[in-house]
Amino acid sequence: MATIIDPATDLSLDLERIRADFPILDREVGGNPLTYLDSAATSQKPIQVMDAVDGYYRRSNANVHRGVHQLGNEATDRFETSRARVAGFIDADPQGLVFLRNTTEALNLVAGSYARELLQPADRLVLTLMEHHSNLVPWQLAAERAGLQLAFIGLTDDGRLDLSNLDELLAPPTRLLSLTHQSNVLGTVNDIAAITVEAHRRGVLVCLDAAQSVPHMRVSTRELGVDFLAFSGHKMCGPMGSGALWARPELLERMPPFLGGGSMIAKVELERSTWNTVPHKFEAGTPDVASAVGLAAACDYLDGVGMESIHAHEQGLVRHMLDVLDESGATVYGPRDLAIHGGAVSFNVADVHPHDTGTILDRLGIAVRAGHHCCQPLMRELDVPATARASVYLYNTHEEIDRLGVGIAEVRRVFRV
Enzyme catalytic residues: 374
* Largest Cα–Cα separation, the chain: 72
* Residue 194: other Cβ atoms inside 10 A: 13
Contact 161, 112 (CB under 8 A): no
* Residue 412: other Cβ atoms inside 10 A: 18
